[in-house]
Amino acid sequence: MFRNIAIIAHVDHGKTTLIDALLRQSGIFRANQQVAERVMDSFDLEKERGITILAKNTAVRYGDIKINIVDTPGHSDFGGEVERVLKMVNGVLLLVDAFEGTMPQTRFVLRKALQLNLKPIVVINKVDRADSRISEVVDDVLELFIDLEANDELLDFPIVYTSAKEGTATTDLDAPAQNMRPLLDTIVKHIAPPPGDIDGPLQLLINNTEYDNFVGRMGLGCVKRGKIAAGQQVSVIGHDGVSRQGRIGNLYVYEGLERVNVSEAPCGEIVAFSGLDDIKIGETVACLEHPEQLEPITVDEPTLKMTFMVNDSPFAGQDGKHLTSRHLRARLFKEMEKNVSLRVEETESPDVFQVSGRGELHLSILIETMRREGYEMQVSKPEVIYRWDAGQLMEPIELLMIDIPEDKTGVIMEIVGARKGEMVNMTSLGQDQIRLEFKIPARGLIGLRSQLLSETRGHGVMSHIFLDYEPYKGDIRGRYQGVLIAFESGEASLYGLHSAQDRGVLFITPGIKVYEGMIVGEHSREQDLEVNVCKKKHLTNVRSSTAEAAMRLDEPRQFSLEEALEYIGSDELLEVTPKNLRLRKRVLNKHDRQRNMKNYQTV
């Protein structure tokens, strides 16, 4: 007997921690076994950032019932992952923070679940927080269900109150909470077993693909009808409805964090299998004699695009091992096979590719993953994807939520207003915290996060979700300052940087190698300025032991990958290598740049 559920929530509301608690209490781990926190976040970037990027499968046993659980990303940039896995399950645990309440991604993931008519269980997590506001959050959730036009059956949802960190759950706040059993009882009672005819012809939709070093490419999905067996001859139906034959190799099911080899799996089980090396997400694995196609997976279209190109800087090839357009093309198209919300298009130049995704984070995770694999590339500033409707230019609009200290309300409203943001709601969260909601063009979000953190001294929190396409809102002014550009190639000196420091804010330190056209700082004025950061002080006969020591440099501004993508202008590029991030002008030579300047406009 099975129950298949997905845990959905806004980022950082405790999904992965909740699964940890369920795994620990179900006896998956030995008593003396050392287990890391957030054990489901196995991808390096997930551990570093504390977010889930890739959907993961696990399973726990509760009595004679096997509960298959899928941990999904909470960030809308990885919505393609959410949309895929919801096709495998029959119910969802909607996890909501007892203080923060419903957030943009809560709305996003719940809307996807309701569209598929999945039974929800609402889990109010972190009820042990001193600042929790449980009754208000429950009201928020109910309002969200009504706002998303949930039917009466889905509105009648059970509520479980949990502290995932403590490993406790209860359906009654007045009763003491001791373990996660009340949550498991609620799952078994309210989530229906997966439907399907176990004696019918096989049907399985491919929801994910993986690569295993021992068995090769693997397909993952839920058996919708019939049974699947190792060694079985099957028909694979592509997106175009055309069938091809294949043979299942090894067959696996999930038990805890392990994949267990089995000979057969019945209808309702979530499985992984090898043998079909050309399998793609959204294809149907069916019975050889009676192949019937399941509805393919559809995901929301990308809203942001950028160009990836071969690194042609003077320092190209110094760090990376994958440098050519052939390497770049193969890696991007391989990514598109499993990253279903990514689009890759070739351009007129064999060295340039246009990559479209769901947001800045979606694309920056791809870039960071590739640089860790040894790739070098150059990328452009992210741009939104416009549409034309009845002769009118339409642009993507996002719902933006910002939680800030109350005394910062005026300055943040001014900043968002300058980016064509329109305030739609203001809510007091108590403790001098306020939540502002805006409708804002997607292009207005580029660079906003770092500006928000700067103005609120790190106390501002923002999140956003795609709403719809609306008529173009008018021009938004980009970066106000020009940049300091290296005048020549060489090694930055203390003397040269000290001279340049008077003109703005530096991005580099002495000893860093630079090339002509590389961006080394931000100018204090609107225009770009060439500076010679490599020049050395002329030697004289007069010696001074204190002259060099008196030169003091301010702390240089360091960029993360996302900050660098937000910062660059339309006539600039970001050079990405395994060891370095370098900001540069598209055209490195000063005279060539002046001739080309009219081709670029500030976005």
Which residues belong to the annotated binding site for GTP?
A: 12-17, 125-128
Phi, psi (degrees; rounded to nearest 5) at 384: -75, 160
What single DSSP character describes residue 37?
S
Question: Would you mind telling me the total number of residues written for the chain in this entry?
Answer: 603
Known binding residues are 12-17, 125-128
Nearest partner of 122 among 90, 149, 100, 154, judged by Cα: 154
**Rounded distance between C-alpha atoms, residue 385 and residue 453, angstroms:** 26
Nearest partner of 45 among 10, 13, 75, 8, judged by Cα: 75
- Specify the residue for token string 């208000």: 136
**Rounded distance between C-alpha atoms, residue 176 and residue 163, angstroms:** 12
DSSP 424-448: EEEEEEETTEEEEEEEEEGGGGTTH
Rounded to a whole number of angstroms, the CA Rg of the chain reads 27
Alpha helices in 127-200 (DSSP H): 134-147, 152-155, 181-190
**Rounded distance between C-alpha atoms, residue 75 and residue 465, angstroms:** 9
What are the tokens at 227? 């049974």
Which amino acid makes up residue 551? M
**Rounded distance between C-alpha atoms, residue 430 and residue 428, angstroms:** 6
**Rounded distance between C-alpha atoms, residue 432 and residue 475, angstroms:** 34
Alpha helices in 167-311 (DSSP H): 181-190
**Rounded distance between C-alpha atoms, residue 7 and residue 164, angstroms:** 13
What value, to the nearest 5°, has the Cα angle with vertex 200 and ends 194 and 206?
60
> Do 11 and 53 form a contact (C-beta atoms < 8 A)?
no
Phi, psi (degrees; rounded to nearest 5) at 83: -60, -35
**Rounded distance between C-alpha atoms, residue 572 and residue 603, angstroms:** 12
> Do 281 and 209 form a contact (C-beta atoms < 8 A)?
yes
Beta strand 264-266 pairing with 343-346: unpaired
> Do 462 and 402 form a contact (C-beta atoms < 8 A)?
yes
Helix (H, G, I), strand (E, B) or coil at 223: strand
Nearest partner of 560 among 507, 482, 597, 503, judged by Cα: 507
**Rounded distance between C-alpha atoms, residue 449 and residue 445, angstroms:** 7
Burial 549-580 (b: 16+ CB within 10 A, else e): eeeeeeebeebebbbbbbbbbebbbbbbbbee
**Rounded distance between C-alpha atoms, residue 221 and residue 236, angstroms:** 13
Helix (H, G, I), strand (E, B) or coil at 597: helix
Q: Considering all CA atoms of the chain, what is the largest pairwise distance in Å, rounded to the nearest integer?
A: 97
> Do 22 and 180 form a contact (C-beta atoms < 8 A)?
yes
**Rounded distance between C-alpha atoms, residue 122 and residue 138, angstroms:** 9
Residues facing 221 on adjacent strands:
206, 271
